[in-house]
Amino acid sequence: MTPETRHIAVRRSDIGLGTPLPWAVYDNHGNLLLKQGFVLETQSQVDALIEKGLYRERQGGSANIGFRRDGRDAGDGASSDSSGERIVPLDEIKLAIGDPFQIQAQTDQAESRYYVKLIGYLKGRSVMVTMPEVDGRLCFVREGQAFVVRFFAGRNAYAFTASVLRSSNIPFPHLHLSYPSQVRGLMVRTGERVPVRIICAVAIQDDTRTVTTAAMLTNISVSGAMLSAKARLGNKGDLLSIKFRVDIREIEFLASIDATIRYVSGDDFGEILHGVQFAGLPNDVAIALTAFVYQKLAESSR
């Protein structure tokens, strides 16, 4: 078994600090390094492994089109695999006109991702979306160009590959994408964490007074996060109040969340890491945080 034939490279964005690995990882000779479920708690651990070459087993033979998962060839009709992914027909997904899609050119060099809006689709014929824009200017898209298309519906992330059938400016700029024979869906779990670097203010109860200090959110989910600070913020079971700002599709949201420390450890740079669990999220914060995690999953996908 060699990395070239049965393994694919693991990227930094594939690994969430403080969360169990969803698969076993190997070196470039196919030797097992870490078992599935192992928890990496520091970025330095991840960096050291990546620099040496880190691989995981392929789950199929097609290009990676999912959200931090690999797409797999399968027939039409709904089906699922052990990773929780499933194949669904596009017309069975509850989509609405105006839903945002993210598209990325399907080349090794492509890093840019664009948001477009769904105009409509005709089963078996095409999917119509708006023309991608950057800074208010339309992007050049050639007919035949291949894209990975990603979007969210409900609590599920979806992805498929498509090529441009037609690019037109009449009566307005839009694209006709090839209709996908299959769409891979993945339910985003409540505990799905994404790596971030967000400065936050942490309020700590110190005897009879409240002390506020700065910290860094290094990963986050809708149920908890990892806090990195220069000094210990408390002990297991202590309560904290965390305030931070996130940008959700160019809309700034200020979150104020109560949390409980679940564990404390140190990293290789002298920082103190605090795994925290959120408590009693208000509805508006829960919705905003879910949208932010979904957005980061889309941005970090390859």
Residue-wise pLDDT tens digits, 102-113: 888 866 444 567
CATH class of 194-300: mainly beta
What is the tens place of the pLDDT at every residue in 226-260? 999 999 999 988 999 999 999 876 678 899 999 99
Q: Do residues 64 and 71 touch, judged by C-beta distance below 8 A? A: yes
Alpha carbon 190 to its chain centroid, in Å, reads 13
- Structure letter (DSSP) for residue 39: B
Q: Pick from 165, 178, 194: which is nearest to 298 by CA?
A: 194
Judge if 79-187 and 194-300 fold alike in CATH terms. no
Q: Pick from 237, 281, 291: which is nearest to 258 by CA?
A: 281
The pLDDT value given to residue 180 = 94
State yes or no: pLDDT of 297 exceeds 70: yes
79-187 CATH? 2.30.110.10
- Structural domain spans, the chain: 3-57, 79-187, 194-300
pTM of the complete model: 0.47
What residue type is assigned to position 39 of the chain? V
Report the alpha-carbon distance of residue 75 to residue 89 in Å, rounded: 10
Neighbours of 117 (CB within 10 A): 14
The pLDDT value given to residue 191 = 63
